[in-house]
Chains A and B, each alone.
Chain A
Amino acid sequence: MKKVSRTKSSVAPRVIVGVDVGGTYTDIFALDEATGRITIGKVPSTRDDPSRAFVEGVSAVAGNPAAIATIVHGTTVGTNALLERKLARTAVISTTGFRDVLEMRRRDRPQTWGLWGNFTPVVPRDLRVEVDERTLADGTIARAVNPTEVAQVTRALLADGVMSVCLFFINSYANPANEAAAAEVVRALWPNAHVSVSSEILPEIREFERASTAAINASLQPVVGDYLEALESGLRARGFAGSVLIVQSNGGVMSIETARRLPVRTALSGPAAGVIACAHIAQTAGFPDVITGDMGGTSFDVALIADGQSTLAAQTSVGFGLVVRTPMIEIETIGAGGGSIARVDRSGLLQVGPESAGAWPGPVCYGQGSLEPTVTDANVVLGRINPARPIGDRAALDVAAAQAAIAEKIARPLGLDVMTAAEAILQVANAHMAGAIRLVSVERGHDPKRFAYMPFGGGGALHVCAMMREVGVTTGIVPRYPGVTSALGCVIADMRHDHVQTLNVSLSALAIETFRAAIAERSVQGRALLSAAAIQFQRVDTLIELDMLYAGQSHTLAVPLTSADTRSRARIAAAFENRYRSAFGQPLAGIEMRVLNLRVAVVGRRHKFDLALFAPGDAAPAPPGSRRVWIGHAWREVPVHARLELPAGCTITGPAIFEQADTTVYLEPDMQARVDRLGNLVISRI
């Protein structure tokens, strides 16, 4: 923590910048901690070289890079590279007899109905080579690995032009000795740092998930490494001397060095940051239970926060068979965004999405040549979006073109007039999004009506009242800057390192001293990683969790433990029974309990900036403007407020439109919105 004194000194830079690079826009949120000044910006993403929009955007929005202390970055570079298969030439070295694990997956198929579809693994079969070795499930080394053989295959792979390599041996979670011995040989010969070892990345039982995670990490290392390199040097060239942190899928941040080594942890980086921000904003506003809905161009992402905490999922699939197993904020994605295409299907049913017009050609109203009407086109035709002031750097929207497309593709086949057709598109999209909200809450055992709803992303706030009506939610909260929420989340995310180790023992056979030593070791390692990042923390927490089950079951239950709980088997048993009771009812007496995995997370709590910085001024706002909005079968002249100018405590009755640079809020009739002390719009029914 050498640099702590520097960040404390009065002349040192105090600006912290969050940057979220999405498919369409790069969002920037800058906070000057010395003055409390907040700057936000949105610039079009540069897909060919995302670091360009990043570096230019940061300079344009946050000012002189030399004045920036920390840049925190949510990125989809790794995810995009994976989806587009722009990956480095990568190889896998595995146990004889098991090179196909990566390609065989868990014997699934792409969709329930229809038997077509195929799978191309990230590493092709001819680059998956085998060496003779075998470790048994209990950790016994049945056959030791032969270093000479490993050296031979390694040289052959290098001669074949391989850039990055993954080592994956069966049962290496139970005893990594063979894998480690092979890794030593490979690393001595490999010309770069692109060596991913499955037991280092994920020492957890389940061979396909471990192999997939390690192989994807290997294939991403050169790509993400190059990107981060370009990013850092671009920033340095402009005088930036601070540190860069990268958001992980678990909602915590890591250093740029860790990100180079473990790029697989960035799979859901951007969306995770948004959820972190919402949790903090909602809790501060007095709503610890909130469901978030991020509506962007192509998708609608739903996450659930109960008692201020978002839930973590153990894994996700980036695409069919592309499984990444690393803790990540549980986010449900459906294909419903502003760019979702509306169409009448062969059975005459109106459908919206999942096909999307994306950023290019985009909705019809963008005038980029698309003829397929989208959700955004419907919002424009109904007067909810101001065509003269679209979000982002964009020319005025073409209302007539949007209207023509809806008339031809929707209104005519359904026998409706164009305005009714535009409303219908929104109704179907809203029903679809509300369905995702209901399902996410039911799957986790919650009644969505007890939650507040927080929309974010560029499009979410247009649909907030509709979501409240459809789901039966009583409170909607539109954060102060919905369009840059993920960038804001970057600024407040904690630093976090997760580690999992499979133990797979009966609780009665768990050696407490060894167990506690393992926790202590992980804690020390995690703290060392935190210290190396040169960031100041309020405090550091170690979170301990076991995956436990009764012998014979296959589903595990996550059991959080306090440090005191780890002192005896009896306390662990009690903790498990308590969790079991709340999840399933009566614990099962007399059945052996087992401990499958130990999970240790070390979290460096960063200072949360005071959201009171968002507090609106007291000055009376300018009188609202107005425009025509189509509501309930007729045009109505509706007041249009400059949202950021409204003072705290003011209440506005719907219908109304609120405009700001990064989004538009549409308040329906019979709803009212109050500006709270932190600048949120809190919406309720009248």
Chain B
Amino acid sequence: MGTRTKKTAPGQRSSPAGIDPVTLAVLNGRLEQIADEMDATLFRAAFNPIIAEAHDASHGLYDARSGETLVQGKNGLPIFVGAMSFAVRAVIERFGKDFAEGDVFIFNDAYEGGTHFNDFKLVRPFFRNGQLFCHLASVGHWHDVGGNVPGNYNPVATECFQEAFYMPPVRLYAAGTFRPDILAILQANSRLPISVYGDLNGQVNALELGARRLHELLDQYGETTVLEAFAELRARAVTLMRENIAALPDGHYSCDDCLDNDGSNDTPLPIALDIVKKGSRMTLDFSRSAPACAGPVNISRATTVAACYVALKHLFPDVPANAGVLDPIEVVIPDRSLLDARAPRPVGGYTETILRIIDVIFGALAKAAPERVNGMAYGTINALSIAGHRSDGRRWVMFSFFGGGHGGNPVSDGLNHGNAPISTATIPPLEILEAAYPVAFTQWSLRPDSGGAGRHRGGLGAIYEIELLATAASAFFFGERSRFAPQGVVGGGPAALNRFSFHSEGAWHTPPLGSKMVGITLKQGDRIRLETPGGGGYGPAAERSRAARAEDIRLGYTSAREGTKSSRKNGRTAKAGTR
């Protein structure tokens, strides 16, 4: 069993001498803005829409020796906020003894750096007066990085080599000199070499701008003051997080959930959390979770910790975004388990697993802090790809993720049709998809009765139905939540299950593995239908007001029959309870 324990001194830190509260408040904003400007630079310059539109990227400042997060931008992808410090640490561990001013390191190692292989991390040690001061880092999701499947979402991968090419940390710039051989390797291994070039340039420019802005800030305030601000902001995040934790009742809180399967074997994969909360500390113990699996739902240890960070930031949004958030937290992850994948385990489906981690953290803390939590969100990104050939022989691939409902919360019903908690990406317009590919949507609507019942109902998932206009196509689908529904909290009911079906050869079919299938063959007029989960409910359904029930029926959010029921059968619900 592996543990991760922070070594920083516990207890209240006194404010370091010297930094006054006004300078601290100003520097807090100025430092955050350096990261924001780096984000803005990459969003504007990136070639691929995953960065430019979906903002699947992040920037920040990291501690010179530990790699800990000092400052993060406000607009980057939530999951990177926690993952990037691991990427910086990986570079420090490998090259820390001989950093030179002007070095920039590049890699996509998903085991040491977190997330998956599409995410290219650039780390730039920042020197001030010849001394290493901190690190600047940039991460962005590249469009295509080799592997068996364009876009790299391969549901039947059993090794990372089938997912993408694997780049360990290397120098892209050595003491300020660009290495064109590295770029050549990167471009040769992508189906979209121009996109690679454009995105890489954008990231390099973002780091350059960050360095320039940080020098300006240091010119103005001096190194000592800025270092004091780093320490003080970290200390305040620790203090605030400790206070947040201390306010919860001491105890053991558990939540169990499961992934449907790994894409090859139809066996549930438990994600089980036991929280021990004592005083101002909290242990998140995942020991009862599944061992590593053959398919791509494994995640690295770095990714697991990053997912915990995302959940905690959602629960306590007012804590400053730096490493201090995790200080009072111990995360226990069994060695070489599903949550500690080592090379070459496939990790391409990491999104499903981290969503489940966030779900169980909410589920467990619901018992400790019912006023802070919400029902589980829909919990799957539902990646769908439909591909074929046009009449002129050119290949087409339509690839998209779909949305679902959010959980009910203490103040309102859950949001209908939102994006996943790990992301801020939007869905493409259906008219853009229809204009680009030979498909027509026959339905794009809310899914009635899909939100979990409760005092505050879960938000609704969606129904998407797509008809093929071309003569033939094949489809693959990668999702979750066909066997285990998103759970309600504080007595709220579960949401509806994810349901994927397709109409071919004159009949409707569902995949044997629920929400994962490759090689679906479609002919003209055949259809694919996806019904996504809503969110879990909040509070007992019996406490829902008569007016709210009537409104639900009037608006068709629930059918008349459904609205009168307090609970319903929704597949299996993993056991959850206080031990």
Contact = CB atoms under 8 A, between A and B. Distances in A.
Q: Do A and B bind each other?
A: yes
Interface of A: 97-101, 103-119, 124-126, 134, 136-137, 142, 170-171, 173-174, 205-209, 345-351, 414-416, 420, 423-424, 427-428, 431-432, 435, 438-439, 442-445, 504, 553-555, 584-585, 588
Given A209-B429, A347-B240, A554 B49 contact: yes
B130 interface: no
B314 A113 contact: yes
A439 B53 contact: no
Contact of B239 (A347, A435, A504): A347
Given A99-B445, A100-B445, A553-B47, 18 more contacts: A100-B444, A103-B417, A107-B426, A108-B426, A114-B317, A119-B416, A136-B469, A170-B431, A205-B431, A205-B432, A347-B239, A347-B318, A347-B319, A424-B21, A442-B37, A443-B40, A553-B49, A555-B53
A56 to B, nearest CB: 41
A439 B237 CA distance: 25
Interface in B282-325: 313-314, 317-320
A122 to B, nearest CB: 14
17 contacts: A97-B444, A103-B416, A104-B446, A106-B427, A114-B317, A118-B413, A125-B556, A170-B431, A170-B441, A347-B237, A349-B28, A427-B22, A435-B36, A439-B37, A442-B37, A504-B435, A584-B45
A112 B78 contact: yes
Given A112-B74, A347-B236, A554-B49, A119 B415 contact: yes
A103 B446 contact: yes
Contacts of A347: 236-237, 239-240, 318-320
A385 B407 CA distance: 49
B556 A97 contact: no
Contacts of A444: 44
Nearest to B418: A109
B25 A349 contact: yes
Interface residues of B, number: 81
Given A112-B74, A112-B78, A424-B25, A439 B33 contact: yes
A174 B430 CA distance: 13
A350 B25 contact: yes
A427 B374 CA distance: 38
A478 to B, nearest CB: 25
A103 B314 CA distance: 24
A442 B209 contact: yes
Majority-rule SS of B interface residues: mixed
B24 interface: yes
Nearest to B319: A347
A349 B417 contact: no
A136 B434 contact: yes
Q: Which residue of B198, B319, B429 has the most chain A CB atoms within 10 A of its CB atom? A: B429
B442 interface: yes
A170 B431 CA distance: 7
B443 interface: yes
A464 B490 CA distance: 52
B343 interface: no
B263 to A, nearest CB: 24
B417 A443 contact: no
A504 to B, nearest CB: 6
Contacts, number: 194
Contact of A137 (B37, B403, B434): B434
Interface in B26-52: 26, 28-30, 33, 36-37, 40-41, 43-45, 47, 49, 52
Contacts of B243: 346
B430 A113 contact: no
A432 B240 contact: no
A106 B426 contact: yes
A298 B198 CA distance: 40
B225 to A, nearest CB: 14
A432 B29 contact: yes
A534 to B, nearest CB: 39
Contacts of B462: 100, 104
A123 to B, nearest CB: 11
B555 interface: yes
A78 B337 CA distance: 57
The 10 closest A-B pairs by CB, nearest first: A107-B403, A554-B49, A137-B434, A107-B427, A113-B317, A424-B22, A106-B426, A97-B443, A347-B236, A350-B25
A115 B377 contact: yes
Q: Which residue of B41, B78, B198, B440 has the most chain A CB atoms within 10 A of its CB atom? A: B440
B86 interface: no
Nearest to B373: A115
A142 B37 CA distance: 48
B314 A555 contact: no
A206 B53 CA distance: 15
A347 B244 CA distance: 11
A118 B25 contact: no
B411 interface: yes
B5 interface: no
B254 interface: no
Contact of A584 (B198, B410, B442): B198
A116 B36 contact: no
Interface of B: 21-22, 24-26, 28-30, 33, 36-37, 40-41, 43-45, 47, 49, 52-53, 74-75, 78, 194, 198, 201, 209, 236-237, 239-240, 243, 313-314, 317-320, 374, 377, 402-403, 406-407, 409-419, 421, 424, 426-432, 434-435, 440-446, 459, 462, 465, 469, 554-557
Given A108-B419, A443-B40, A428 B432 contact: no
B429 A416 contact: no
B421 A115 contact: yes
Contacts of B209: 442
Contact of B29 (A105, A119, A124, A431): A431
Contacts of A125: 446, 555-557
A188 B144 CA distance: 54
A205 B374 CA distance: 36
Contact of A416 (B21, B412, B417): B21
A447 to B, nearest CB: 10
Contacts of B446: 100, 103-104, 125
Contacts of A126: 554-556
B28 A207 contact: no
A119 B402 CA distance: 19
Contacts of B424: 108-109, 112
A281 B381 CA distance: 51
A262 to B, nearest CB: 22
B417 A427 contact: no
Contacts of B431: 137, 170-171, 173, 205-207
A363 B465 CA distance: 54
A438 B33 contact: yes
A118 B47 CA distance: 33
A554 B53 contact: yes
Nearest to A110: B415
A235 to B, nearest CB: 42
A432 B29 CA distance: 7
Contact of A115 (B239, B406, B445): B406
A269 B397 CA distance: 43
A309 to B, nearest CB: 19
A115 B374 contact: yes
Contacts of B30: 431, 435
A109 B280 CA distance: 31
Nearest to A551: B436
Contacts of B418: 107-109
B18 to A, nearest CB: 14
A113 B434 CA distance: 33
Contacts of A442: 37, 40-41, 209
Nearest to B411: A116
Given A115-B421, A136-B440, A106 B415 contact: no
Contacts of B557: 125
Contacts of B22: 350, 414, 416, 420, 423-424, 427-428
A144 B424 CA distance: 38
Contacts of A110: 415
